[in-house]
């Protein structure tokens, strides 16, 4: 198979990954996500790159995901179960996803580990029917509570932020204390959003954000995103709230560890969360040092959107995918 410039979408993906100007900017990520949306690229990658995708995706079944979590636990790292899928288009899909997630909660309960689940609200009806989504979320949260499982709502792209915040508040006010939320430091609005939630004493995961967003909505340079990340973590911790520091950036981790020590932040209020297959050395080291570490363990057949966002984070990943496509 030849990856020539005649094959525009894939050639752009690969050549974009080699551009020095894009290596350290959000421009690279934007370019890759644009190309990844091309149907031809999606078809090729899903057919030929699964072997490489397994680096980031635990498998397609709940059994494979739980096996991956078993392996993490041997290193003192706890798993976050995440069934991949987003943007459902029918009530039937909402019902299927909700039932499946509930079954996975029950399966996870067979393990003696801290149990933790991530969900995307667009899996269970956000964007289709808000009330249906809330009812689906309540069913999942009730099942999770029965099995001592914490549920984290992932934040999705910017058009869904308002409804996600609204849903989080509504569910917390209805008594679901086993619920947390993700906030993205790349979005200009997030500091204000965090402050609007402080009355709920929110358990938050702070991430940088992996979605392609316009400059009017999101910061476009890494240094500003990083500074916002640190500020958000400090704000939530200073308010006495549990905070998950979700980054693989050792510089930021070291900076926040020093600040936590200076401020006397209790260790039980802080945890570190990272992605399955990324910086396993750092995950192991932090766990060995006595920090609470979780790894986000995604699985399922709808892995392509998640995989695309992982490719968009590091230029070298695009090269690995290109090699997989060439090898077939």
- Token digits of residue 189: 């609005």
Per-residue pLDDT for 229 more than 70?
Answer: yes
Q: Are 240 and 218 in contact (CB under 8 A)?
A: no
Can you give the pLDDT at residue 19? 41
Predicted TM-score (pTM) of the model is: 0.85
Mean pLDDT calculated for residue range 78-107: 95
Half-sphere CA count of 187, side-chain side, radius 13 A:
22
Q: Catalytic site residues?
A: 154, 205
Q: Are 194 and 205 in contact (CB under 8 A)?
A: no
Residue entry with tokens 């968009």: 312
Can you give the pLDDT at residue 3? 41
Greater confidence (319 vs 23) lies with: 319
Mean pLDDT calculated for residue range 98-125: 96
Q: How far apart are CA 244 and CA 240, in angstroms?
A: 13
Per-residue pLDDT for 221 more than 80?
Answer: yes
Domains of the chain: 8-52+314-327 (no CATH), 58-302 (3.20.20.220)
Q: Are 46 and 304 in contact (CB under 8 A)?
A: yes
Per-residue pLDDT for 15 more than 50?
Answer: no
Q: Strands 204-207, 270-275: parallel, antiparallel or unpaired by DSSP?
A: unpaired
Residue 31 in 3-state DSSP? Answer: helix
Greater confidence (58 vs 48) lies with: 58
Query: pLDDT tier at 53 (50, 70, 90 boundaries)?
Result: confident
Tell me the Cα Rg of the chain: 19
Per-residue pLDDT for 170 more than 70?
Answer: yes
Q: How far apart are CA 172 and CA 145, in angstroms?
A: 13
Mean pLDDT calculated for residue range 24-42: 59
Helices then strands, each counted (H, E), the chain: 15, 8
Query: pLDDT tier at 326 (50, 70, 90 boundaries)?
Result: low
């Amino acid at each position: 198979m030849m990856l020539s410039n005649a094959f525009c979408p894939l050639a752009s993906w690969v050549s974009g990954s080699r551009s020095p100007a894009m290596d350290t900017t959000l421009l690279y990520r934007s370019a890759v996500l644009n190309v990844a949306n091309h149907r031809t690229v999606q078809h090729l990658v899903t057919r030929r790159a699964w072997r490489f995708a397994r680096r980031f995706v635990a498998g397609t079944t709940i059994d494979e995901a739980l096996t991956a979590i078993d392996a993490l636990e041997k290193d003192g790292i706890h798993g976050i179960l995440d069934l991949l899928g987003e943007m459902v288009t029918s009530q039937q899909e909402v019902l299927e996803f909700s039932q499946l997630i509930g079954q996975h909660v029950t399966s996870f309960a067979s393990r003696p580990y801290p149990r933790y689940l991530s969900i995307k609200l667009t899996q269970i009806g956000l964007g289709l029917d808000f009330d249906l989504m809330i009812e689906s979320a309540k069913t999942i949260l009730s099942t999770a509570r029965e099995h001592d499982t914490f549920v984290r709502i992932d934040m999705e792209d910017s058009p869904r932020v308002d409804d996600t915040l609204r849903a989080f508040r509504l569910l917390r006010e209805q008594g679901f204390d086993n619920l947390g939320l993700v906030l993205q430091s790349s979005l200009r609005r997030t500091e204000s959003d965090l402050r609007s939630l402080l009355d709920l004493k929110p358990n938050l995961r702070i991430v940088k954000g992996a979605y392609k967003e316009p400059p009017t909505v999101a910061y476009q340079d890494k240094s500003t995103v990083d500074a916002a990340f640190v500020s958000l973590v400090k704000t939530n911790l200073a308010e006495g709230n549990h905070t998950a520091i979700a980054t693989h950036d050792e510089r930021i981790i070291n900076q926040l560890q020093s600040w936590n020590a200076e401020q006397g932040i209790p260790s039980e209020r802080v945890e570190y969360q990272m992605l399955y297959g990324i910086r396993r050395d750092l995950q192991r080291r932090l766990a060995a040092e006595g920090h609470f570490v979780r790894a986000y363990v995604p699985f399922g057949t709808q892995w392509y959107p998640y995989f695309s966002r992982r490719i968009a984070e590091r230029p070298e990943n695009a090269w690995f995918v290109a090699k997989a496509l060439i090898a077939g």
